């Protein structure tokens, strides 16, 4: 009989999921299985990590685990094996946990990798050389590097980091919750490997590890695998302390506290406010759900209390408010207000306190019950589409729940807690509201930008490097360079072939992609219907002759239906595109019907009752940024209601003066925060120069349209008709019968009258004989620069961001069915995959947190992208050196790495289609929008299998080497002003025509024209990149 004993087992009532948990009687190791139909197997390996200082041991250890284990002492073995077994690995460190993840296309590859991964977690090598390169070192130029150091350097001066650190210090003076587990820079500089080893020895014990799996898994094979692993572990010793649970607990606040903190930035116009309250015990599930409901009542949607009084008003105090909890042994409730004008910050706390106290007498019970119901259906939808909500609860129960796990069903089995809350009366809710919000002592943190701190930090950093160079001298710097090279050589020792071969490789034929049924009706001629399918028969039987609307169904297993209305913005006059900043609030406007106006508050409340989600976005699934997409997700039984909502929201909403002004003020007031984001500003200058004024993706960038938006604010007060007129013209041009592509994703068998329900929607529109509008391809709205993709380097300086971001681009064939397409995808993956050339040469040496290369089908370019760069110049040089070394044959293309790159691409394909809805959206994208066929996955896998090393060599020479030649490439950069001069000189020296744009205080835009006149990200999203340049969706709430 094995050592693993079943301690909990149950079926989930609200989703086709079962949960089992075992515990080893020998070691205390815990194992959980979330049995859920899915082509992906996900794993989470959670360790409770408690520390009482800011050394960064938990975070550095998270990185060092991947540098080799006692059984497999080779850096990157896990990731190389992952590449070969259709898997990807990752990890995160939070205040109370470190969690290692494994995502695999199918059980076969997961099973192969699991024992080796767990060996790395419990028995890492933790060599001094790995610590030196991965954590912190100084290079031969006197610059501070290290993967962990670079990661923390990028965020330590950010406003949210400064706020969170002050909160932790104040609320948790005695416990480990006070610690910055990522490591403060000053602590990372002096952290020793011995400290990390001790932390591992104290915390990484089998009885402090919980292994969680989700997906379609062979239970017997899983237990056999874990039994064999567990048998090699030492037996559990008595008296082991349980992190956090057995430690001294912090007392709740006795009185309210207000603190002010500062972060460096030249723009001192806006800051933020953060509120924190001590809440119920984390294991009191009903009370925790209740405070979550109240938090949403205060902040969630445009009709919440705080939005109504502080944001959805003229002259707002903030642009956005949010609620979240820190789920520790004692819950902490957090409320944040973003983009608060600095001159209003100091008076804001008293207004919040007064509103809470006054409102305690007049809680809206109906609204609370609405939120309970919405929260319940959000949970059910999430349970159908993802396993993360299950793993999150399992990790929390492991950290803080009953060690016997008898309480586990209470976390996941049913929805009884929601029913209990629905039974509460107003008196009980009022009592809870007072206890945890209105009369509960709070910590308020006012976070303000400081130009003085920005200047002093800039000066300090400059002196620090100068002093370090002087102290070390040429000889000292040279020795540091030698030490780094020696460490890299030791770390990068090749993995013996026999070790890799001993693991084998899973069969790609066993990967099961989710299949969906496509049905076209009305004016949709994009697919050929399979007339043998019951779903097709039902759709066609419900379609009237000459039905004038384009409708496309993807039939899937689901209790929910998603309806997308895709509209081409090419139908809108170019001069009207910038009104998108107002038009995207369409779902939160008043409705005029039968001569009566329904206030926007009532519209939003009823919309939320009938739907799970309602959004407006300028993209489709983060692609096709020239589409305007209206989306509603609802329960299948609310299909008719959803269609009626589209009719009312698109055609009967009213642009009123107060709602329009609120929308514009929100966008303008959010500018300072956006300008502090290096990655956001990289996307902005990319759109500004790559796209023409015909592009709505360009018009949707507030930084580009700031003058227009500020002008609108004046017009709204003085001549509102001149504002509402263009908005109605925008509506009229966009919302035409032949400009709607209706995509319905759901279970057709559960939809009543799936086609004829659209008759009313059609009836309110003018009939037309015109053909369906063309799909708005991004390639049609490229600027001159966007078409040529050469010669230029556009830079923007961002004082609020300490990291650098870069995107180099060069032309590739725009044809998605080009014979070169699969070869480019594979060559890119070969270079960028985990433990591949870029990973080792750039991330592994601390030059940047991320280095990627990918192709964009919509723009027709290949991009080399740097994320959170510590040294952009070196990133350019090293990237160029790596590519040219392979292109010239100096470095041979390793066949195993090439096979691993194929597996990595396959894993990405399955990961993007990990549930039925995602698979349906991807199929529509592949078949209808990008037009590469409904079986693109299978075609790509076949094409990848045929690519040879010689093919990759050819592709590298024809396309990839062009990335570093100014005659054939363009460059976009976002960096801190302290780095701009050197970066500008570097790219001028390379032959680029450089234009520098400055984000200055007050958000004025200035150009440095010394090198080139200004002319008319992170990464752009497409099928071969996980990044997105699309605007975030605008929520109806």
Model confidence at 650, pLDDT cuts 50, 70, 90, reads very high
Mean pLDDT within 582-601: 96
State yes or no: pLDDT of 141 exceeds 50: yes
Mean pLDDT within 413-419: 98
State yes or no: pLDDT of 631 exceeds 80: yes
State yes or no: pLDDT of 568 exceeds 60: yes
Dihedral, CA of residue 974, residue 976, residue 981 and residue 982, to nearest 10: -80
State yes or no: pLDDT of 412 exceeds 80: yes
CA–CA gap between residue 61 and residue 55 (Å, rounded): 11
pLDDT, one tens digit per residue, over 347-402 is: 999 999 999 999 999 999 999 999 999 999 999 999 998 999 999 999 999 999 99
Using alpha carbons, select from 374, 373, 380 the residue that is nearest to residue 16.
Answer: 380
Model confidence at 1003, pLDDT cuts 50, 70, 90, reads very low
CA–CA gap between residue 954 and residue 214 (Å, rounded): 41
State yes or no: pLDDT of 1027 exceeds 60: no
Q: What is the mean pLDDT of the chain?
A: 93
Mean pLDDT within 335-341: 97
Sign of CA dihedral 123, 128, 129, 134: positive
Q: Which distant-in-sequence residues (6+ apart) come within 8 Å of 394 by Cβ?
A: 19, 21, 32, 34, 44, 210, 212, 408, 411, 412
More confident residue, 1022 or 606: 606
Using alpha carbons, select from 698, 800, 995 the residue that is nearest to residue 708.
Answer: 698
CB 568 within 8 A of CB 719: no
pLDDT of residue 512: 81
CA–CA gap between residue 812 and residue 908 (Å, rounded): 22
Model confidence at 1023, pLDDT cuts 50, 70, 90, reads very low
pLDDT, one tens digit per residue, over 8-21 is: 999 999 999 999 99
Q: Which distant-in-sequence residues (6+ apart) come within 8 Å of 924 by Cβ?
A: 518, 552, 554, 743
3-state secondary structure 707-745: HHHHHHHHHHHHCCHHHHHHHHHHHHHHCCHHHCEEEEE
pLDDT, one tens digit per residue, over 205-236 is: 999 999 999 999 999 999 999 999 999 999 99
pLDDT, one tens digit per residue, over 706-760 is: 999 999 999 999 999 999 999 999 999 999 999 999 999 999 999 999 999 999 9
CA-to-CA separations, 452 to 52, 175, 176, 265, 678, in angstroms, rounded: 32, 33, 33, 8, 21
pLDDT, one tens digit per residue, over 30-46 is: 999 999 998 899 999 99
CA–CA gap between residue 606 and residue 627 (Å, rounded): 27
CB 165 within 8 A of CB 893: no
State yes or no: pLDDT of 1000 exceeds 90: no
Its pTM stands at: 0.92
Mean pLDDT within 129-138: 95
pLDDT, one tens digit per residue, over 824-881 is: 999 999 999 988 999 999 998 889 999 999 999 999 999 999 999 989 999 999 999 9
CA–CA gap between residue 720 and residue 718 (Å, rounded): 6
CB 839 within 8 A of CB 833: yes
What percent of the chain clears pLDDT 70, i.e. is strictly above it? Answer: 96
Q: Which distant-in-sequence residues (6+ apart) come within 8 Å of 92 by Cβ?
A: 62, 98, 99, 101
Domains of the chain with CATH codes? 257-387+410-449 (3.30.830.10), 517-778 (3.30.830.10), 784-1015 (3.30.830.10)
Using alpha carbons, select from 1037, 979, 974 the residue that is nearest to residue 794.
Answer: 974
Q: Half-sphere exposure of 811 toward its Cβ, with a 13 Å CA cutoff?
A: 14
């Amino acid at each position: 009989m094995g050592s693993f004993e079943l301690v909990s087992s149950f079926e989930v009532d609200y989703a086709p999921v079962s949960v089992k948990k075992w515990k080893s009687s020998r070691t205390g190791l815990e194992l959980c299985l979330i049995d859920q139909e899915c082509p992906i197997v996900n794993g989470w390996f959670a360790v409770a990590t408690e520390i009482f200082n800011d050394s960064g041991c938990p975070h550095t250890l998270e990185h060092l685990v991947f540098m080799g284990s006692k059984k497999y002492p080779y850096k990157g073995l896990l990731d190389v094996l992952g590449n070969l077994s259709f898997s990807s690995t990752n990890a995160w460190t939070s205040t109370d946990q470190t969690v290692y993840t494994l995502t695999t296309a199918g059980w076969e590859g997961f099973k192969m990798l699991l024992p080796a991964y767990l060996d790395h977690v419990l028995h890492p090598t933790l060599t001094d050389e790995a610590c030196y390169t991965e954590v912190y070192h100084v290079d031969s130029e006197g610059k501070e590097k290290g993967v962990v150091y670079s990661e923390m350097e990028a965020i330590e001066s950010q406003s949210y980091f400064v706020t969170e650190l002050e909160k932790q210090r104040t609320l948790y003076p005695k416990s480990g919750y006070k610690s910055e587990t990522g490591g403060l820079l000053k602590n990372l500089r002096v952290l020793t490997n011995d400290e990390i080893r001790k932390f591992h020895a104290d915390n990484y014990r089998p009885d402090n590890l919980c292994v969680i799996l989700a997906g379609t898994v062979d239970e017997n094979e899983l237990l056999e695998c874990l039994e064999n692993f567990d048998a090699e572990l030492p037996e559990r010793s008595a008296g082991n302390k349980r992190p956090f649970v057995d430690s001294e607990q912090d007392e709740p606040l006795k009185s309210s506290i207000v603190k002010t903190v500062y972060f460096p930035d030249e723009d001192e116009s806006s800051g933020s406010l953060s509120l924190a309250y001590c809440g119920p015990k984390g294991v009191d599930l009903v009370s925790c759900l209740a405070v979550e409901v109240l938090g949403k009542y205060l902040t969630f949607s445009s009709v919440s209390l705080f939005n109504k009084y502080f944001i959805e008003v003229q002259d707002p105090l903030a642009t956005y408010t949010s609620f979240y909890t820190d789920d520790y042994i004692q819950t902490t409730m957090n409320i944040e207000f973003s983009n608060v004008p600095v001159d209003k910050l100091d008076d804001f706390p008293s207004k919040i306190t007064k509103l809470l106290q006054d409102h305690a007498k007049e809680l809206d019970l109906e609204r609370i019950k609405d939120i309970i119901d919405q929260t319940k259906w959000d949970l059910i939808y999430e349970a159908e589409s993802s396993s993360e909500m299950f793993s999150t609860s399992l990790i929390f129960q492991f950290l803080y729940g009953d060690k016997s796990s008898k309480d586990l069903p209470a976390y996941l089995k049913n929805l009884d807690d929601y029913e209990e809350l629905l039974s509460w009366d107003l008196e009980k809710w009022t009592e809870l509201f007072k206890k945890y919000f209105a009369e509960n002592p709070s910590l308020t943190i006012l976070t303000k930008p400081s130009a003085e701190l920005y200047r002093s930090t800039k000066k300090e950093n400059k002196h620090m490097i100068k002093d370090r160079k002087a102290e070390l001298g040429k000889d000292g710097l040279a020795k540091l360079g030698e030490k780094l090279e020696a460490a890299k050589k030791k770390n990068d020792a090749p993995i013996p072939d026999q070790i890799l071969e001993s693991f084998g490789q899973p069969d790609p034929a066993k990967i099961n992609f989710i299949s969906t049924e496509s049905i076209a009706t009305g004016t949709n001629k994009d697919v050929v219907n399979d007339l043998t399918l019951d779903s097709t028969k039902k759709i066609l039987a419900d379609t009237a002759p000459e039905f004038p609307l384009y409708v496309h169904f993807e039939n899937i297993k689901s209790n929910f239906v998603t309806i997308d209305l895709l509209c081409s913005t090419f139908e809108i006059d170019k001069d009207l595109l910038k009104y998108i900043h107002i038009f995207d609030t369409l779902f939160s406007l008043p409705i005029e019907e039968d001569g009566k106006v329904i206030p926007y508050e009532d519209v939003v409340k009823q919309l939320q009752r009938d739907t799970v989600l309602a959004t407006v976005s300028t993209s489709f699934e983060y692609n096709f940024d020239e589409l305007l997409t209206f989306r509603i997700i609802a329960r299948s039984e609310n299909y008719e209601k959803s269609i009626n909502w589209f009719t009312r929201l698109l055609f009967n909403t009213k642009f009123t003066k107060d709602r329009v002004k609120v929308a514009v003020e929100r966008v303008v007031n959010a500018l300072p925060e956006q300008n502090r984001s290096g990655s956001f500003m990289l996307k902005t200058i990319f759109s500004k120069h790559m796209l023409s004024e015909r592009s709505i993706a360009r018009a949707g960038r507030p930084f580009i349209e700031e003058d227009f938006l500020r002008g609108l604010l004046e017009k709204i007060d003085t001549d509102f008709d001149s504002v509402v007129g263009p908005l109605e013209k925008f509506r009229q041009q966009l919302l035409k019968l032949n400009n709607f592509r209706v995509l319905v994703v759901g279970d057709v068998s559960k939809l009543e009258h799936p086609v004829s329900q659209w008759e009313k929607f059609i009836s309110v529109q003018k009939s037309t004989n015109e053909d369906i509008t063309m799909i708005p391809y991004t390639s049609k709205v490229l600027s001159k620069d966007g078409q040529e993709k050469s010669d230029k380097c556009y830079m923007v300086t961002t004082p609020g961001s300490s990291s650098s971001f870069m995107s180099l681009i060069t032309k590739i064939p725009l044809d998605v069915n080009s014979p070169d397409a699969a070869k480019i995808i594979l060559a890119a993956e070969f270079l960028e995959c985990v433990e591949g050339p870029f990973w080792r040469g750039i991330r592994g040496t601390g030059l940047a947190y991320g280095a990627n290369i990918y192709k964009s089908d919509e723009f027709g370019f290949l991009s080399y992208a740097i994320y959170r760069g510590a040294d952009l110049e070196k990133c350019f040089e090293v990237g160029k050196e790596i590519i040219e070394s392979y292109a010239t044959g100096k470095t041979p293309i390793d066949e195993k790495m090439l096979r691993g790159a194929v597996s990595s691409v396959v894993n990405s394909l399955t990961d993007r289609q990990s549930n039925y809805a995602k698979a349906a959206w991807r199929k529509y994208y592949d078949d209808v929008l990008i037009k590469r066929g409904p079986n693109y996955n299978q075609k790509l896998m076949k094409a990848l299998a045929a690519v040879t090393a010689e093919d990759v060599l050819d592709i590298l020479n024809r396309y990839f080497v062009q990335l570093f030649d100014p005659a054939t490439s363009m460059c976009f950069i976002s960096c801190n002003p302290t780095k701009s001069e050197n970066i500008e000189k570097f790219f001028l020296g390379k032959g680029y025509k450089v234009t520098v744009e400055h984000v200055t205080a007050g958000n004025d835009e200035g150009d440095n024209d010394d090198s080139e006149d200004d002319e008319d990200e992170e990464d752009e999203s497409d099928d071969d990149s996980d990044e997105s340049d699309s605007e975030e969706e605008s929520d109806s709430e």
